[in-house]
Structure 1
Amino acid sequence: MEGESFAASISFQQLRLFESVGRLESVRQGSEECNLSQPAVTQALSKLERQVGFSLLERRASGSYLTEAGKILHLRTRRMFAQLAAAVVAIGGADGVEQASAIVHRLSRSQARALIGIMEHSTLSDAAIALKLTEASLQRSTRDIEGNIGRPLFYRAAVGLTVRPEGMAFGRKLKLAMQEIESGLSELSAMAGGRQRQIVIGALPFGGVLLLADVLKAFLDHRPDADIRVVSDSTSEMIRRLRAGEVDILLGIVQEDDADDLRSERLIETPFCIVARRDHPLDGRPKLNRDDLAGYDWIVGTEGSTRRACFNALFGAGTPPRSSLATSSLTIIRKLLAVSDRLTIITSFELQSEADTLIALPYALDGENPSIGVTMRADWLPTGLQREFLDTVIAVAG
């Protein structure tokens, strides 16, 4: 078993017992804290070790101590429970961390599976089919998690039982927290020379795709066995996927308004420039004004993009020129510019790869220069392989 299916075979109770014994360095104290007998705790931890294929605790007369593998999984387990407690507080299910932790300790994997399943498949009946469970079983789990959290997470609509907006918010954080165990198992697999969890890279338009090609070549030359998936969409969609844990890292133009839950590392400063095809009517003009630029059709960035903001700032004081196309595809932009007198805004980094066909017009754009870099979740802890990928990005950008 690998990845998500492997992590799903480990119960929340096993993880709670492991966290307690590892922290207290004692099966006896762990059993007392979790209100279980010592034999039950020992049996649960032995099963966990068989499942992961590693010895996690070294039993001595003085206590039980984490092995190297145990330290890796214990850190991820602590992070998972801390994130779950924060999610309970955020939804209003508890007044503080202590109360939230007590609620989290009553959470079960079946409760989590019910919420995430209905969230992803829209209704209870569709989730039951997808998860191969009975609707009655799934409904019991929905009642259990609502009773545990003390907040309504579901409502009955015309299509059946579905998830409330606050349930969606909690479910996303729940799903993200559970990824910690998948990352821990991936790190254990790496210790044994096995396959590691897939790295999902979000390539942002304008900069991300071009830099990523060089990064992937360098990284795969060194790590040919790495499993990497690249996804590309609008900036707003990529940020949504990053927050949801569907993407590990974003590569491309760094957003100027970093949110508290995201962090960025700027690597290459790349000014925006106004671009046209070679032999454009404005090509060769020593100086241009805004009226010269407003006389042509424009290709603009999609709503919410830094390119669109730059275009809006350029013509914000007057009537904007015609802009019949909004796109983030450099391929489409390149082809349209080549056969028309349209103008657009791209970064100097992209222009380097298009220098045979495109030129920068002599007009200085106001504002700070954008930067190409990496964006991650603020509390994200990369695995060893993910850290290597980030190091490769920094090296190639340098």
Structure 2
Amino acid sequence: MVTVSDEESGVSEIFSVPNIRHLRIMESVARNASISRAAIEVSLSQPAVTQAIAKMEASVGRPLFDRAANGSYLTAAGDVFLHRVKRFLDQSDRAIRDLHPGDGDRASARHITSTQIRCLLSIARSTSFSQAARTVGISTASLHRAAREMEANVRKPLYKSSKYGLTLTSEGAELARKLGLATREIEAAEDDIRYLDGVESGKIVIGALPMSGAYLIGATIADLTSQFPEARVYVTNSPYGVLLNSLRTGAIDIIFGVLRRPEWAVDLEEEALFSDPYCIIGRAGHPLASQAAVSTSDLLDYEWIIPGAGTPRRRQYDALFDDMHRRPRITLETSSLSTIRSVIACSDRLTLVNRHEVETEERLKLLSVLHWTSNFPPLAKGITTRSNWLPTPIQQRFMNLLRMRAGQAPV
């Protein structure tokens, strides 16, 4: 299944948050290989620990432990699930500790409940407390109570009053971002466990930048869904700033396109896949299309479509005519390839793009690439991911297929 959207992905608006105490109990049983020792460690009775493990197994849908006379040992599914559980607990505990750097207090993290996390995440993604309460399925009073309990647990103001009502403080928004990322680990565990049964399913959410290279990403998606029919692919198309925020909050898994990570985004990493040279395009049969060599002077006689200010392509367009006594007339500013294609098809306008961005249109002879020699360095394009991201099997398959396709792309 493939879903394409021109807005920020809403594939998973409210994250699934299991009982955190049960997760800590499972981790203790696995580490001690013993229910009795774990019961002492978490200050519960053995029957309570046994019941907690049973509920976790019912939630996962398979046994997590093999019980033996000399202890309790992880099954294959339990081992896979525990790996994600540890990542969830580590990230959520660290998110709480980051509110008080240097004091080393771990106790407050252990008082946080799944309800409190769900409420915080809902508030972060809603415009009001009443909307957040409806999303979670509780009363507004219950939401306020959970919000204040969490604020007391973390010993930090998470909310502030505004003309719109209570909203998140900067600390609250950052905590919500980090806890939201942590919950993705539990969501990914289901796909990891199904992989044990030989079922390669699951989803990947791709943020594709405008003009990023539709043919390459489309061919990779076709490869993935052909080889793994149960894979679900979601593609959202948005400007870089929107996708950057979506990646850092866990709403998407990767950004595909121009590599332009800000220096402050130290939690992200980039991988260059290919270099994309600049070219100038016009309609099929454009007067300059048959010209053996197109000079900068030739370009002045035609109207242009240019991208928005601040983009790499706009900077190169501005530099293109720096040494000329005049500049061409500009009639449209857009980064929408569909708009560019439509306007160019019925006029003699020109625009500056990268070669892979129009590969599909060039194959279908919907436009002409002029014989113009670029002095601009090609753009580095590839993927941006979170530094600590652990892909599921189907996400890793997609990444490998994309790397293979990029390696075959013509320069």
TM-score, normalised via structure 1 length: 0.87
Q: Does the Cα contact within 8 Å between 2:204 and 2:232 map onto a contact in 1?
A: yes
Kindly provide the amino acid, as one letter, of the partner of residue 342 in structure 2. Answer: K
**Distance of 1:299 and 1:216 partners within structure 2:** 30
Q: Are the counterparts in 2 of residues 301 and 327 from structure 1 also a CA contact under 8 Å?
A: yes
Task: Kindly state the Cα deviation for residue 160 of structure 1 after the two structures are TM-superposed.
Answer: 2.9
SS of equivalent residue, structure 1 residue 374: strand
Q: Is contact 2:302–2:349 with CA below 8 Å preserved after alignment?
A: yes
Match for residue 44 of structure 2 among 7, 15, 36: 36
- Helix, strand or coil at the partner of 2:348: coil
Residues 14 and 208 (structure 1 numbering): CA distance in 2 closer, same or farther, change over 3 Å? farther
- Cα RMSD between the aligned structures? 2.9
The answer to whether residue 140 in structure 2 is matched with residue 135 in structure 1 is: yes
Tell whether 2:25 aligns with 1:20.
no
What amino acid maps onto 1:37 in structure 2?
A: S
Question: C-alpha offsets along residues 217-258 of structure 1, whole Å, 9 cap, x if unaligned?
Answer: 211211112222222122322222222211112223333657
1:183 CA drift (Å)? 0.3
Match in the other structure for 1:358: 368
Q: Which amino acid aligns with 1:14?
A: H
Residues 155 and 163 in structure 1, CA contact (< 8 A), matched pair in contact too: yes
Partner of 2:314: 308
The gaps in structure 1 that reach 5 residues or longer are none
Question: What is the match of residue 186 of structure 1?
Answer: 191
Partner of 1:374: 383
Alignment partner of 2:395 out of 373, 386, 398: 386
SS in structure 2 of the partner of residue 397 of structure 1 = helix
* CA 12–256 in structure 1, closer or farther in 2 if over 3 Å, else same: closer
Q: Does 1:60 align with 2:68?
A: yes
Distance in 2 (alpha carbons) for counterparts of 1:241 and 1:5: 12
CA contact (8 A) 2:201 2:230 kept: no
Alignment match, 2:81: 73
Query: Which is worse superposed, 385-394 or 272-281?
Result: 272-281
Equivalent in 326, 336, 339 of residue 329 of structure 1: 336
Q: Which has the larger helix fraction?
A: 1
Of 348, 353, 356 in structure 2, the residue corresponding to residue 346 of structure 1 is 353
Cα deviation digits, residues 342-386 of structure 1 (max 9, x gap): 32221122344334322234242333x213322221111011111
- Counterpart in the other structure of 2:209: 204
Please state whether the residue corresponding to 1:286 is helix, strand or coil. Answer: coil
* Distance in 1, Cα, partners of 2:356 & 2:253: 24
In structure 1, distance between residues paired with 2:137 and 2:310: 40
* 2:150 maps to which of 134, 137, 145: 145
Q: Is the 8 A contact 1:235 1:304 kept in 2?
A: no
Indicate if the aligned counterparts of 2:17 and 2:183 stay in contact, CA closer than 8 A: no
Taking the aligned partners of 1:121 and 1:217, their CA distance within structure 2 comes to 35
Q: What are the equivalent positions in structure 2 for 1:75-224 lying under 5 Å apart?
A: 75-90=83-98, 92-95=99-102, 98-99=104-105, 101-192=106-197, 196-224=201-229
Task: Answer yes or no: is the 8 Å Cα contact 2:283–2:345 preserved in 1.
Answer: yes
Whichever residue aligns with residue 44 of structure 2, its letter is L
> CA distance change for structure 1 residues 351 and 201 in 2, over 3 Å: closer, same or farther?
closer
Q: Aligned letter for 1:365?
A: N
- Determine if contact 1:205/1:234 at 8 Å carries over to the other structure: yes
Question: Partners of 2:12 and 2:38 in 1: how far apart?
Answer: 27
Q: What SS is found at the alignment partner of 2:231?
A: coil
Partner SS, residue 121 of structure 1: coil
2:88 and 2:250 mapped to 1: Cα distance? 13
Q: Which runs of 5+ in 2 are unaligned?
A: 1-10
CA distance in 2, matches of 1:352, 1:202: 19
Q: Give distance in 2, aligned partners of 1:387 and 1:245.
A: 17
Q: 1:228 to 1:353 in 2, by over 3 A?
A: closer
Find the residue that maps to 1:354 and give its secondary structure. Answer: helix
Aligned length: 391
- When structure 1 is superposed on structure 2, of 5-14 and 59-68 the one drifting more is 5-14
- What amino acid is the match of 2:338? T
8 A contact 1:286–1:362 mirrored in 2: yes
1:277-292 residue pairs with structure 2 within 5 A? 277=283, 280=286, 282-283=288-289, 284=291, 286=293, 288-289=295-296
State the match for 1:274 in structure 2.
Answer: 280
| Counterpart residue type for residue 36 of structure 2 | R
Match of 1:241 among 237, 243, 246: 246
* Mapped contact 1:187–1:196 kept (Cα < 8 A): no
| 1:118 Cα deviation from its structure 2 partner | 1.6
- Rounded to whole Å, the distance in 1 between the matches of 2:66 and 2:208 is 43
Q: Is the 8 A contact 1:7 1:181 kept in 2?
A: no
Q: Deviations over 1:82-122 (max 9, x none)?
A: 222332344x33426x42x4322211011111211222222
Q: Is the 8 A contact 1:248 1:376 kept in 2?
A: yes
Question: What is the alpha-carbon distance in structure 2 between the residues aligned to residue 5 and residue 16 of structure 1?
Answer: 25
Distance across 1 between alignment mates of 2:214 and 2:293: 32
Please state how far the C-alpha of 1:153 moved relative to its aligned partner: 0.7
CA gap 1:292/1:169 in 2 versus in 1, 3 angstroms: farther
Instruction: Assess if the C-alpha contact under 8 Å between 2:261 and 2:270 holds in 1.
Output: no
In the alignment, what sits opposite 1:252?
Answer: 257
Higher relative contact order (CA 8 A, sep 6+): 2
Q: How many angstroms apart in 1 are the aligned matches of 2:21 and 2:252?
A: 28
Shift of 1:14: 0.6
